[in-house]
Amino acid sequence: MKDYTNYNYEQFADDQMFIKWILNPDEQTDSHWTNFIEQHPDKKNDINIARKIILAYQAQEIPSSNAELQQLWMKIEAQRRQSKTKKLWYWAAASAVLLLLIGSSGLLYFQSGQRDIDWEAMNRDNTKSKLILGEKSVVEFDKQTVTIDYRTANCIKIDQDSTLNLQDNKSSKEMDEIVVPYGKRMQIFLQDGTNIWINSGTKLIFPRAFHKKNREVYLLGEAFFKVAKDASHPFLIHTPTQMVKVLGTSFNVKAYSDEKNEETVLVEGKVCFSGNANSQKFTTLIPGQKGIIAKSNQSVSVASVEVNNYISWIDGYLIFKNENTSEVIKQISRFFNVPIEASDNYNHATFSGKLDMNNGIDDVLTRLTKASSTRFFHKGNKIILIP
Amino acid sequence: MTNSQNLWKKFIEGDQQALTSIYFDHADALIQYGRKYTLNHEIIEDSVQEVFASLIRNRKNLCSPNNIRFYLLSAFRHCLIREINRSRKKLQISPSVDENEFSVSFNIESELSKEHISKKQNQLINNLLESLSPRQKEAIYLRYTNELSHGEISTLMNISEQVSRNLVSQAIKRMKEQLDLLHIDIECFVLFLHFMPVFSSKN
């Protein structure tokens, strides 16, 4: 044992055992220092000064809030899920005990009706899919496709093997948001059982649970909806230009910011839609029809289409029939998030066929260029097509 | 073997729940440390995330350090300084961060929620710390908040053990001077601070 009899305040304040006694006392340090003071009352003053210094220093440390630490841990968990998909089962138990602490400030938004929607276009630099919970915490995903399931009360399942527990019932009134960057896709089951496939470059905002007369979601980009049937609670999709109203059906809505028109393609059931400027005048679609609304003047047209061509992206392939090749290239570019440059010659060619996107962009372009006897090459992060 | 070494061993053996406990034992100390280098919370969080992600990545090759806190602080400091430099490069501002920047951002008023901080506290903190040099602040932080040894502090700050001793001893003297100058009953005050709920989670 050290000899402390000649210590002054300065030495006490820099002694490991002394610091431990002040900050994290245990039986051993406590009895040691109590005895020491009893035996050396002349040291009491120095010990007091040293104690004050340490306590005063510690007093200025402000610990992080528990919620802050929880949220950061969720991010670490989410990141780990991406890198170790095979071992997911192992971690499910660990993440299941995590509570997500959610405040109730998002509540006001939702109850006061329309939420402020940020229609700002997707940034091409984003590379991670995101789930934003009540505008407070963010979970990020690296994987190509992620499935998120809200059907169980007070928890969110991610890819069936992990669960985020939501702390209280109030949080069910929050609005959550999914952001899917170019090159990624996502699938979500909403609380009512509605299933939505979300395509690349898309933002979807939706309530964690449906409490109101209408089931309302907000969409920028493209998604395919299989709406759970519930005639007494119409399902409404708001986009920057239009509103689509559904009674239980499946259909595709396309509302990208960089296109002139927004489109709705109906697969089964019944939907109607109206421009935001003229929200009383609905146009009704029957299965196999595509409703088009022009952003410029909100003019509406309806055409009969082959629906498979419009929803094949769900399964990872694209189908075209006499499609303008520049449109084909645009869709490939969006799907893989790779800019593609092509000469104007392509505007006059059309393309028909099915492109399997599952083997990567080089594979797709090899087949495309073979069909059109052209070539492509990589230049930096771009791809150039030449005749 | 201490409790935290036990947890570490379990984690290396594959018990993922152990890492959760390790995280909640140490994350706050890392965040505190980071706050003294930068106001950019994103950089701090990214660095904490990177530290734990690399633990997960390298689980099978990890050694068993004597002092987990020291081990994590070293890894964190490394990540943090790299992240800060990276973001500065991106913004094309001033050259790289160096040791002397510790605590430049330590401005309670701008950084932390004001509701926790009374005026008197603010006065105490400012007086107590403002007279310290950045390196004194860092050394005393490592010594008091993390209870590191001088050997560990010297490794972390890349200085000799003697310099570490000197920094801490100078810091103690300065803080004593400041405490003497304060015309409040520091004993009562410190006690009061420790009964405030925000500080009670410390132990």
Residues of A in contact with B128 (CB under 8 A): 56-57, 60
Q: What is the complex's ipTM, to 2 decimals? A: 0.74
Q: How far apart are CA A270 and CA A285, in angstroms?
A: 6
Confidence of residue A190 (pLDDT cuts 50, 70, 90): very high
A54 touching B, CB under 8 A? yes
> Hey, which residues does A283 pair with through a beta bridge?
A273
Please tell me which of the candidates B20, B112, B190 has its beta carbon nearest to residue A59. B190
φ, ψ at A122 (rounded to 5°): -65, 135
Q: Are residues A73 and B20 in contact, defined by beta-carbon separation less than 8 angstroms? A: yes
Instruction: Find the CB nearest A94 among B16, B140, B168.
Output: B16
Whether residue A143 is predicted with pLDDT greater than 70 in this model: the reply is: yes
A126: pLDDT strictly greater than 70: no
Please state, as a whole number, how many other Cβ atoms lie within 10 Å of the Cβ of residue A48. 14
8 Å CB contact of A83 and B53: yes
Q: DSSP per residue over B13-35, as a string? A: TT-HHHHHHHHHHHHHHHHHHHH
Please report the pLDDT score of residue B182 as a whole number: 64
Beta carbons of A177 and A132 less than 8 angstroms apart:
yes
Which of B49, B144, B176 shows the shortest C-beta gap to A75?
A: B49
- Span A17-66, pLDDT tens digits: 899 888 888 888 888 998 898 898 888 888 988 888 888 787 766 677 77
Q: Which two tokens stand for residue A26?
A: 């245990």
Read off the tokens for A299: 């003019």
The DSSP string of B122-141 is HHHHHHHHHTS-HHHHHHHH
DSSP, collapsed to helix, strand or coil, labels residue B73 as: helix
The rounded distance, in Å, linking the Cα atoms of B180 and B94 is 39
Three-state SS for A301?
strand
Residues contacting B169, CB < 8 A, separation 6+: A10, A14
Mean pLDDT value of segment B162-191: 76
CB neighbourhood size of A306 (10 A): 11
Mean pLDDT of A321-326: 78
Q: What's this model's pTM, rounded to 2 decimal places?
A: 0.45
Residue A383: in which H helix or E strand, if any?
strand A382-386
DSSP reduced 3-state for B14: coil
**pLDDT tens per residue, range A148-183:** 998 887 788 888 777 777 765 556 667 888 988 887
The more confident residue out of B84 and A88 is: B84
Tell me the pLDDT band of A90, cut-offs 50, 70 and 90.
very low
